[in-house]
Every structure is written in C-alpha cells, then in structure tokens.
Chains A and B, each alone.
Chain A
C-alpha cells in the first residue's frame, strides 16, 4: 500500500481546481438555501450559464475572452430572473421543481445540433481561454511544472488554483459581510417566515430574487473556472448529479455557515479521490482479498464503490452529526418546534 501516493492524491485534489469549482457553487447554493431558504435543485444550471457565457462570447460572438466573463455573469442574472419571477411568489417547492427542470433544459438546449454555431452542440467549445493563461505569472522558460515537497503542479494548474482560491476568498468575504448586515438579516428572516417579513414592510420577493441572482452568479463563476481549467466547455459535464454533489458539499459543511461550502468542498474532493486511490491500491496489492470479494471490487467498478462508500459516510454524518461540521445542533433543534 503506497500511503504516500494516497496522501498526495488527497492533498492535490482537496485543494485542486474541482474543489475550487465546488466551493464556489456551494457558496452560491448556501446563499440560496442556507440563508434564504430557497430550494435550488438546479445549481448546475447556473454553472452552465456562466461557463457558456464565456465560451459563447469567444466562440460565437468572437468577443474578447474577458468580456466573456461579463456575458457569463449576465447569463446567470438572466437565468435567476427567468426562474425567480414566475416561481418565487409561489411556495418553496415550485422553485425546486423548476430549477431541476431548467438545469436539464439548459444542458439539452446547448447540446442541440441546431445550436452548433453558437454553443458547439455536443462537441462543445474548446481552446477559448488562451488569454487567461497568457497572464500566467507561473510561466517560466524551460520547466513546465513546480515541485512542493512531494506534490507536483503544472504551471497552468497553479495559475488556475491561485485565481480560483482568490475568487473563493473574495466570495467568502462578501458572503460574510452581507450576512452580518441588515440585508442578510432580511434574508434569514425570509428563510424563517416570509409573511412576517412582508408584514414588517420588506419586499420579500425582491430579496429572494436578489439572493437567487447573487448565489447564481457565484455558482456561475464556479462554472467558468471549471471550463477555463479544462479549456473546454462540454454540455454533459453539467448534468444534475453535479447539483446533488454540491448539496452534499454544503450539508457536510453545515448549511447557513460562511465557511461550510469551502471546507465541505475540500473534504468532498479529498475523500472522493483519496478513496479512489485507496481502493485501486487495495486491488493492486491484494491486501484486502476478503474485502474485495465482499464488495466484488474490481478495476471497472472502483469509481462506483467510492461513491457508495461516500454515501455511507454521508448517512453516518446525518445520523450522528446532522448539523454538519460547522452547524449548531442547538439551532437545528429549533426546526422541530
């Protein structure tokens, strides 16, 4: 068993680009659900909106890449209005139903053949982010990679991670500041009881729209970072499973806490990738033959088994620490009253 290899994987993935993407999407979802009580089951739709904003700006409109980021943000705002205006007047469940459907509709629409010239349809959009990498401060002649202890990073990855974690830090800061302000107080009050908020003279619908838009844009930034990292926008990377992984991230961290999506995302990716390497090592060394037989573990089902194991962990968490890592049990108990 090569523990060094496992640890390397845990650290590099736990702080890698995927963790950044999930942290951003989680910060957005946490604003929706954790603070405002909006049931958004289509966060991946906002990620796709952001990603396709950048991609389409370069590919279809032939804009400058950096303006593409603005287009991505505009797409997210548009999506928030589109989803929010008709559904936010209704009960919370309607938003949930609409968002999950909308996120699938977006995926199917962008991969539709008729959109080939705009979205690249099922081939997607590739190599659109060169200007992003042109500014890479880690680029140096000769070597393309950096070694820290036993981690090795490509210069491009380091650049994405630097920008990514900086954006995460900014979003955490903004969330923290907003949630301690009177604005955040109104959101939390809406989560508890919307009618009471309206009776006290606040336009609850407007606040819910603002929260949906803000969380959507932050989720969109996550989507942008994901496609910039891959230099490729692919419709099928934005499938509904991603939304539920992001829910997992904020539940692990504890809903309604500023840091929870960040720590949740790190733990999620560290565990998922650590588990994968661990199971592969197990297969190679034959150290756990009985265990392998019990799970019928083989090379082709390792990635399924790792999610099974993660699911089991999640169930145990719900049983023994339902408030997540940062949540407060005292606060959670108030739900039962």
Chain B
C-alpha cells in the first residue's frame, strides 16, 4: 500500500478547486443536513434517532484495555466518522460492533434489539455489513462472482438445493442483474469477468464496497475505505459514500485523512486510548482541545493536520 502523505495534498487541491466534471457529478442530497446543528458535542450525547447504541463496551487484551466506550449513539441516515490516533482502538471497536470480536462487558443495540453475542454472520441479515481495513477481495473469484456472493436469500447456497439447478437459477439471474447494476454504478463493468486478484488496490476497495451493498444494508461500516487509494479514486469513493447517505443508509467509517472526514461526515467521533474523548460536527471537532491533545500531545500523528485555512485551529497556531 502506498503512503497517504503525498495523496493528501493532491486531494486538498482537488477539493479546494471545487470544480471539474468529477466534482459536479458527485453532488448528492444530504437528507440529514442541519440535523446536528443543535446537538451538543459531548461524548455520549443522545441523537434524535439512533440506529446503533453501544453501552459500556469494554475489551481488554491481557492488561491492555483496548476499548472502553461508556456510551455511544449513532444517528440513523448520517455519515459518522470514527477517528483517532493509531492504536486508539477504532478497529477493535469496529470488530466488537460487528461481532468479529467479543466484548468483555457491555451491550450493543441495533435498531433497538440487542446484538450481544450474535454471531457476525447473522448481522448481515439484520441490515449491518462491514468492510475491512485490509481489503478482502476474493482473489480467485471473478469480480462478478465476488458481487453475487454478497446477495441475500440465495436458495442455491444450501447444499441440497444446489444439486438441482432449476431450484436456484431464477434467483441467480436476479442476483446477477443486481450485481451488474452495482458494478455499473461503481464503474467496474469492464472488470466483471476478471479475477478480483488482478484489480488495483483502489478497485478492490470499490469491489468490496459494492459487494457489501449486495446485502442491501441499512448500516454500512467501512474500515479505512480510502487507505492506499489514489486521489482520483478517493473522490470517486467519497461520491459513493455520499450516495449511500442519499439512499437513506447509515454509514460509519474509520478514517485518518481529515480532509476526507471534513468533506463527507455529518458527525465525528474521536477515540483515544480506547475511550471516546470527543464527539461533534466536523467543524467543531478540530477546535476541541481534547482532540488536539490526543493527536499532537501523544503520537504526533501527521494525519490530523489542521493547517487548512477552512478550519483554523489551535493545532496550526501551536
């Protein structure tokens, strides 16, 4: 994977330019615009309509407490960014929310129902789907097969029914149609029959996101969707994430790039050392002293660079 640093500046240029055919194409409605204006940015603050609620979620590895989240609500239909310095516990928290890891204590509710101890594979049918920090394209399956795998309610996925083609052919055709539609939307149609292993890193990110959409999720959890992706493709990915919101889906994503966070997120949750240290709108979060301290006080993570003129902050003055 390539480093992010040179990428950031170019992205910044593109964003600042604000024009271009690509930029215009990427305009999407924001159904939750203005929703967060009156919400106070304190950790654990209540949201008007939370889709996901985490209470007292704690996970330790030996003596190290990786995640210790007191309370978090995630607003339905919004794009929520989860940021924090390296080692803050973002991915571990993601794994806990998606059933890929088990919390020592705590409760997670999805749409008001508890999902504590629910196996990860059962969450897709409840409307939650995730992607991974290290992209998981299924190399020796074609891009189209990758997509078809994501679809729900496939009778042909039972061994007995699989033996008799007429029992699954019709559903398979529907699935293929759905898959081709999504591939078209993600500009991957020309790659349909290629092995996913032959795609570039950025294309794999696209396939993974498109494949996740095959499950028709309510809640999409993206773990570093822009990592190692070139600037042009980053713009395209951002557009696709905004498109998810326009379709009334909820998005939670982990990201290091503050330009990306500011560009697309409605709400930002900041983690450090396993805890949620701040919440707020992207505009307010850069001014938050706790956030600045967490980033610059401990690890000097270069990803949170507030030198951009749009959002002056203590960090740039310091």
Contacts and interface: CB of A to CB of B under 8 A. Distances in A.
Contacts of B215: 200-201
Given A198-B120, A202-B121, A334-B195, A178 B138 contact: no
A337 B139 contact: yes
Nearest to A332: B140
Nearest to B154: A182
A292 interface: no
Given A186-B149, A189-B149, A202-B157, A337 B165 contact: no
Interface in B154-178: 154-159, 161-163, 165, 168, 172
Given A182-B168, A199-B131, A200-B211, A188 B197 contact: no
Interface in B203-244: 208, 211-212, 214-215
Interface string A180-192: 0111111011011
Contacts of B156: 181-183
A270 to B, nearest CB: 30
Residue in A196, A214, A331 whose Cβ sees the most chain B Cβ within 10 Å: A196
A182 B129 contact: no
Nearest to A191: B140
B158 A196 contact: no
A121 B212 CA distance: 55
A271 B212 CA distance: 49
Interface in A156-207: 174, 177-178, 181-186, 188-189, 191-193, 195-204
B71 interface: no
Nearest to A210: B159
A188 B196 CA distance: 13
A188 B197 CA distance: 14
- The majority secondary structure among interface residues of chain A is helix
B163 A201 contact: no
Contacts of B198: 334
B121 A192 contact: no
B162 A181 contact: yes
B162 A188 contact: no
B140 A192 contact: yes
Contacts of A337: 139, 197
A109 B197 CA distance: 45
Given A188-B140, A201-B125, A334-B140, A183 B159 contact: yes
B76 interface: no
Interface residues of A, number: 32
Given A177-B162, A334-B139, A200 B195 contact: no
Interface in B266-308: none
A181 B150 CA distance: 14
A188 B141 contact: yes
Given A193-B138, A198-B121, A204-B121, A183 B131 contact: no
Contacts, number: 110
Contact of B132 (A192, A196, A201, A203): A196
A189 B98 CA distance: 20
A210 B156 CA distance: 14
B136 interface: yes
Contacts of B130: 199
A326 to B, nearest CB: 14
Interface in A241-275: 256
A183 B121 contact: no
A185 B147 CA distance: 11
Interface string A124-153: 000000000000000000000000000000
B140 A214 contact: no
Contacts of B141: 185, 188-189, 192
B245 interface: no
A51 B215 CA distance: 44
Nearest to B157: A182
B188 interface: no
Interface in A222-238: none
B98 A199 contact: yes
A197 B149 CA distance: 8
B119 interface: yes
Given A201-B125, A202-B121, A337-B139, A195 B100 contact: yes
Given A195-B100, A199-B129, A201-B152, A174 B163 contact: yes
Nearest to A181: B162
A83 B64 CA distance: 34
B122 interface: yes
A181 B159 CA distance: 9
A199 B197 contact: no
A178 B195 contact: no
Contacts of A185: 141, 145, 148-149, 157
Interface string B41-84: 00000000000000000000000000000000000000000000
Contact of B140 (A174, A182, A201, A331): A331
B123 interface: yes
Nearest to A331: B140
A198 B123 CA distance: 9
A177 to B, nearest CB: 6
Contact of B165 (A181, A191, A200, A202): A181
A200 B139 CA distance: 16
A183 B211 CA distance: 17
B156 to A, nearest CB: 4
23 contacts: A177-B162, A177-B163, A177-B165, A178-B159, A178-B162, A182-B157, A182-B168, A183-B158, A183-B162, A185-B157, A186-B157, A192-B139, A196-B136, A197-B121, A199-B100, A199-B130, A199-B131, A199-B212, A200-B215, A203-B121, A204-B121, A330-B195, A331-B140
Given A178-B159, A186-B157, 8 more contacts: A177-B165, A182-B148, A189-B141, A189-B149, A196-B136, A198-B119, A199-B136, A202-B149
Interface of B: 98, 100, 119-125, 129-132, 136, 138-141, 145-146, 148-150, 152, 154-159, 161-163, 165, 168, 172, 195, 197-198, 208, 211-212, 214-215
